Amino acid sequence: CCFNVCWFRYSDFAHGVGKKHCQSLDCNTGFTAYDCTNQTNAVVAYSLIDPAPCEDRSKGAEVERVVHGELVQQKKDRMLSVFRCQVVESVFSQYCGHASAAGVTRYLSFREPKAVEPAACRKAKETRTIKLDGRTFNVTLGGRTSESFFRHGGLDDGSHCAQGTLYTDDGKRIDKQATQSVMEIRVWEEMAKVNDLAGTITT
């Protein structure tokens, strides 16, 4: 295909002659429109050439794809075997007088939970013993164990008491006392739920 582009030169009109200039263009080239007052200033350039084909992509080039998916299941909980230790303590004290005369029993605490160190609980599983307040107690896995001992004073098999001094939690001193502690110990194994996302273990 081809077409003609025609124009008039301003200089021709200056000499009194308006001459028409034409140029034939084919489809393989193009044409440019200029500002009439400045022929070196291109206003719009028109190309009649077809766009060049895209370059071949190399085999090693990365290919970006959009993949749509659906989250069907998310595992956040799992079961874990854990070993637990539970200790409660009751403490009571009694007056020890002349010839082992006894007074009214004073209950200082009754079945109060007692903290157990994690290391002591882990060791109880292996040794079947647990250490509390500097004393070692035998335990039964899966069962309960009760142990008693005197913290202050004492009592022998002949029912003769020994006197000791008791200091209460508020700092009060009480003399001539036989103070006894009863430990209730339970150790057992159970399954716990572990939440890996939250970092928690619940039983």
Query: Average pLDDT of 166-177?
Result: 88
pLDDT at 16 over 60: no
pLDDT at 130 over 90: yes
Residue whose pair of structure tokens reads 């749509």 in the numeric block: 68
Residues 10 and 16: their CA atoms lie apart, in Å, by 10
pLDDT at 114 over 70: yes
Q: DSSP label at 58?
A: P
Share the mean pLDDT of the chain: 80
| Spacing of C-alpha 38 from chain mean position | 72
pLDDT at 173 over 50: yes
pLDDT at 183 over 70: yes
How does residue 5 score in pLDDT terms, banded at 50, 70 and 90? low
How much is the pLDDT for 1? 47
Query: Average pLDDT of 145-150?
Result: 94
Residues 23 and 5: their CA atoms lie apart, in Å, by 5
